[in-house]
Structures are given as C-alpha cells and as structure tokens.
Amino acid sequence: MLGSSSGLLPAPPLAKNSKRAIRYKRCTAKEKPVRQPSGGSKKLLCPSRFCFPLRISYNDRVRHGFAISAVLTDDSTMTTVGDDMENIGLLSIDPGLESFKEHFRYRMKRYVDQKKLIERHEGGLEEFALGYKKFGFNREEGSIVYREWAPAAQEAQIIGDFNGWDGSNHRMEKNEFGVWSIKIPDSGGDPAVPHNSRVKFRFMQGNGVWVDRIPAWIKYATVDPASFGAPYDGVYWGPPTSERYEFKFPRPPKPNAPRIYEAHVGMSSPEPRVNSYREFADNVLPRIRANNYNTVQLMAVIEHSYYASFGYHVTTFFAVSSRSGNPEDLKYLIDKAHSLGLCVLMDVVHSHASNNVTDGLNGFDIGQSAQESYFHTGDRGYHNLWDSRLFNYANWEVLRFLLSNLRWWLEEFKFDGFRFDGVTSMLYHHHGINMAFTGDYHEYFSEATDVDAVVYLMLANHLIHNILPDATVIAEDVSGMLGLGRHKL
C-alpha cells in the first residue's frame, strides 16, 4: 500500500541518529502505572527505557508495556507473517522502530488471528469477499433470492414496483445470524422482479414501527429528477445478456512510475451540467492520454445522494453514481481507458459513511448494539467534523461488507486499484482531529491507534493483491504514520 502523502515514492530508510528516529519521551521512573482493560492500575515493568500506555481491545491479553497499535506494511512483509512472527520487515527499514517490536508483534498477531478465523469459518479471505454473490439480489435456480443482514429487525418484507409496494405476500425469514432472506420464483419464465425496477427493504423496528430502506447491497440506485429532495430508490439491476457490457480490452501493464490524473466525471463537461461516463470516456480520456498520463483516478464513482460531498458521503456502496449513467456505462469508460493504456483507480471511501437514514446505510441503525450494527454506537460512531457515521471494523459482517465491496469493484468493473480516502481518520481513535503530528513515534504507536481499523486495512491490502497482484493501492494519510506506504521491494 502506498501512502499518498509521500508522493507515491518510498521514504528513504532513517538513520539511527536521525531526528525522527530518536524523538522519544523517556519514562521518569523504572516502573509506571499502566491502564488495564478492566480499569485497574496494576504496574507493569517497561521492557526498555521507553514506556507507553497499554490498551487492549482483543480477547487475548498480551503482557507488555507497549500500546496496542498497528501500521500497514507492504505485501512482501505480510507474506512472511504466518510463518515467522519474529521477522517484521518494517524494523529492518528503520532501526529506530526496534523499541516498538512487541507492539508490532501484537499488530501482526491480530492480523494473523483474524485471517485464520476467516479461513476457518468462511473458506478463505477471497471466498469471504464474495458476499455480493450471497447478499442483496442474486439469481439462483430460476428464482431471485434476496438476503439482508439486519439482526435488530423484528419482521421484514421486500417491496417494490413488482408487488405494488405491498410486501404482505413477500415476507422474509430470519436465520440465527440475523440474515433475512426470501426466494421469489420466476413468473412465466421471467424474473419476478423485473430488471431496472425499484425495490426497497421494509422492516419493523423494536418499537413496532415499519420503515423502508434501500437494500445495503443494492447494485444500482436512482432518484426521480423531477422531485426536488426526493429520496433515492434501490433498483434491481439484472440486464439481459444482450444489454450487458462485455469488456474487450485487457488491463494494461502496471506502470513503474504512475502519472495519475485525478478526475471527477460529473464535473468534466464543458457545459453547465453533469457529465456522463460515456462522454467522459469518449471526450476526456483521449486528452488525458495525450498529455502522457498513464493512470486515471476516478472520484465520486460510488453512489452518494449529496452531490456537493464530491462523493465522500457514500450512501450505497455497491452502486455506481447514477447521475453519470448506469453500471454498463461505467464499464464502458473503464474498458475505453484500458484500450488507451490507462490504468483506472477508484477513490474508495471506507473511512466513514453518510449519516442519511432513508437512502443510506445509516438507516439500518435503529439503536441496536455494536455487534448488530455496521457502525459503532454512541459518540464513537460519529465523526464530528464530517457529520458522518464510523464503521465498526471489529464486526464480522462489516468486514464481509467492506472486503466484498473491494472485490466487487475489482472484478465486476475491472478497476486496477484503489486510493483509500480518509485513512488518517481510520488509524486513530481521535481521527486526527485537533492533532498536529510532529513525527514523534508516540503519536503513531499509542493507545490512540485504532487496531481494528488497521487490521481491516491489512486484510484489504492482502485481498486486493491476491485478486490482482499488480494492483496499485494508495492510502491517503496526513499524519505521516511510519510504514503506512511503501513500494513492494
């Protein structure tokens, strides 16, 4: 994973006597009280001359005097994790990190343990990331099967144009994992839910009130342009074979030195209107190529109801932004880019989500526990500056949702990689708010680090490179965390 704050170039190794490598704070005593998970004040001996507060958010308690924290590594480092927990490649780059060795071991342990759990219960990380073939709307044996994870719902129905928005005959069943499902047989040889028809998930909250929401895994969503302020509707997207776009060109080779053109499709028109994917492909991509760029980074591709957010307040994670066209139109754009020798990166937003209720993922939060929600509960679940919701990366189904989202865009649309937006907010519990990062290692490796989020990013990086070894993966970070971005050596 590359750090965008480093200009896509690997940082030179730091010398032992560099200012950044020696800017530590020493303990003033041999022993220092360390906060325990239970709130106690048991004293732990610091294993070195430096002492750090301990915070454990994992089932296994590790007895050492370092904060539980983590940083991203390149793929070459991660491939050795399962075999040898002692050889952490990052330490060979900067000897100044040696004092944090126990802390990195713990980070690696969290990553390895989570990966093993997924392998044991889901058949592997890549299989786990095929959630879009199970959840949402899918064709199975002459039927449409719809599944939705909503453990807090008391009852559920599927409604839409196909049943006149009356779900009384399309009630769903819930399994022990909180997944609702329904199988709707074809009618007269055709899908019971027609292609390009509107659908919604209707469920009853604990207080007996029924609400309608856009399915979390829906692959297309639209809004009536004639109705100002109207909420989005989910749309079942299952075009016949004759209407599906077929890719004609292979992915171009990964450039050794990427020259990236960042683009917002909607803003690219010379006229005062939202541009389309096909117009961008035909009119803008050739100009980008003519100016010697070899990579295009697309902003605002994932559906977002608030256009002024520039795509950063995502409402529907598996749907393309309908303002510029439908899924087949976006495929045309990417195929056209590949024909010109341009790699295409997606600006992916997994650091937060829109707080919209009627047309966003936040609509599934009805006051349930964090184990039954996509987001953290209480204040931890909100970003005060962005006015958005924050994912609970420790939740099994959240991991499935986000990792599947990456695989969906890689395989269905042939993106060549991702720029992860807002990574600084993910890395720290304080989200970088009111922080002036100085380069002191304690700012990166302390109790402020969100280890759950970092483990997710490590899993994501591993998954992406397993699916597409030559993928370009960029982390947008403004803190300068050590080890976040490096070229694979």
CATH number at residue 200: 2.60.40.10
Check whether residue 76 and residue 142 sit in a common domain. Answer: no
Predicted TM-score (pTM) of the model is 0.84
Check whether residue 305 and residue 400 sit in a common domain. Answer: yes
**In this predicted structure, which of 348-352, 419-423, 484-488 has the lowest mean pLDDT?**
484-488
- Of the chain, the percentage scoring pLDDT greater than 70 comes to 81
**pLDDT given for residue 150 in this prediction:** 98
Cβ distance 452 to 394 under 8 Å? Answer: yes
- Annotated active-site positions, please? 421, 476
The band of 176, judged by pLDDT with boundaries at 50, 70 and 90, is very high
The C-alpha atoms of residue 386 and residue 57 are separated, in whole angstroms, by 26
Check whether residue 362 and residue 263 sit in a common domain. Answer: yes
> Which of 467, 476, 483, 478 has the alpha carbon at shortest distance from 346?
476
> Which of 21, 43, 192, 45 has the alpha carbon at shortest distance from 94?
21
Residue 224, number of CB atoms within 10 A of its CB: 11
pLDDT higher than threshold 60 for residue 320:
yes
Check whether residue 433 and residue 388 sit in a common domain. Answer: yes
Check whether residue 290 and residue 398 sit in a common domain. Answer: yes
**pLDDT given for residue 24 in this prediction:** 28
**pLDDT given for residue 86 in this prediction:** 64
> Which of 327, 407, 332, 449 has the alpha carbon at shortest distance from 131?
407
| Residue 285 within any structural domain of the chain | yes
The C-alpha atoms of residue 35 and residue 37 are separated, in whole angstroms, by 7
Check whether residue 336 and residue 462 sit in a common domain. Answer: yes
Check whether residue 262 and residue 396 sit in a common domain. Answer: yes
| Residue 296 within any structural domain of the chain | yes
DSSP state letters, 138-167: EE-SSEEEEEEE-TT-SEEEEEEGGGTT-G
Of 464 and 38, more confident? 464
Residue 188, token pair as written in the block: 């007269």
**pLDDT given for residue 104 in this prediction:** 83
**pLDDT given for residue 487 in this prediction:** 59
**pLDDT given for residue 2 in this prediction:** 65
Report helix, strand and coil shares of the chain as percent, to nearest 5: 30, 20, 50
> Which of 20, 14, 23, 17 has the alpha carbon at shortest distance from 94?
14
Residue 416, number of CB atoms within 10 A of its CB: 23
Cβ distance 272 to 237 under 8 Å? Answer: no
Which CATH number covers residue 16? 3.20.20.80
| Residue 402 within any structural domain of the chain | yes
Q: Please, which contacts does 55-64 make with residues 24 or more away whose CB atoms are closer than 8 Å?
A: 55/447, 57/394, 57/451, 57/452, 58/110, 58/451, 60/109, 61/37, 62/102, 62/106, 62/109, 64/102, 64/103, 64/106
**pLDDT given for residue 20 in this prediction:** 33
Q: Count structural domains, the chain.
A: 2
Model confidence pLDDT, tens digit, residues 60-118: 333 333 222 233 333 433 333 443 556 677 888 888 888 888 888 888 899 999 999 99
Query: Domain range spanning residue 195?
Result: 136-215
- Kind plus residue range of the DSSP H or E element containing 466: helix 451-467
Check whether residue 398 and residue 467 sit in a common domain. Answer: yes
pLDDT higher than threshold 50 for residue 9:
no
Cβ distance 213 to 221 under 8 Å? Answer: no
| Residue 298 within any structural domain of the chain | yes
pLDDT higher than threshold 80 for residue 43:
no
**pLDDT given for residue 101 in this prediction:** 83
Average pLDDT over residues 301-325: 97
**pLDDT given for residue 64 in this prediction:** 31
Cβ distance 301 to 267 under 8 Å? Answer: no
What is the residue-averaged pLDDT of the chain? 85
Q: Across 349-478, where does the E strand assignment appear?
A: 353-354, 382-383, 388-389, 417-420, 472-475
> Which of 402, 401, 483 has the alpha carbon at shortest distance from 449?
483
For the chain, the C-alpha Rg in angstroms (whole number) is: 24
Helix (H, G, I), strand (E, B) or coil at 325: coil
Check whether residue 122 and residue 154 sit in a common domain. Answer: no
Average pLDDT over residues 340-354: 99
